[in-house]
Amino acid sequence: MPLRPDLAEAYRRALYVVYGAPDLVIRIGERNAALDALLDEDGADTAAYLTAANPNGELQDETASDLSCAALHQALADAGYPCYLGEGRDPAGGWPAEPSVL
C-alpha cells in the first residue's frame, strides 16, 4: 500500500531519538556521525529504526500500543539484534511521541 503524502512528510520531519547521554537524534536524509560511531561499535553497517505504535499513522489506544511495542521488542530480542530504546518525536508537537527501537 503506498504511503500517504502527508504521512511521508510527517516521517521526513520527525526526530528519531535514541535514548542516551546525550540522546542520539536521527533525521531522514542527514548524515549522523554519532550513529555511524554506534554502528561501528556494534560491528554493523546498517540499522533500522522501528516502532510498533500507531501503525499506518492511525492512533492506537495506549494498551494496544504497549502490547504491540512489547511484541516488537521480544521479536528483536529473540532474533539476537542489538537494540537501543528511543522514541519518534513530532518536532511541532502535534503527534504524541512513539516508543521506538534502533
Q: Tens digits of per-residue pLDDT, 18-64?
A: 999 999 999 999 999 999 999 999 999 999 999 999 988 889 998 99
Rounded Cα distance between 30 and 6, Å, is: 20
Q: What is the pTM of this model?
A: 0.91
Helix (H, G, I), strand (E, B) or coil at 68: helix
Pairing of strands 98-101, 15-18: unpaired
Range of the domain at 28: 5-101
Note the maximum CA span of the chain.
Answer: 38
**pLDDT beyond 90 at 2:** no
The mean pLDDT of the chain is 94
- Whether the link from the prior residue into 22 is cis, omega within 30° of 0, is yes
101: exposed, middle or buried (Cβ count in 10 Å: 0-12, 13-18, 19+): buried
The answer to whether 53 and 68 have CB atoms below 8 angstroms apart is yes
Task: For residue 19, give every residue at least 6 positions away whose Cβ sits within 8 Å of its Cβ, in sequence order, or none.
Answer: 84, 85, 86, 87
Question: Into how many domains does the chain fold?
Answer: 1
**pLDDT beyond 90 at 3:** no
pLDDT of amino acid 1? 73
Rounded Cα distance between 84 and 91, Å, is: 21
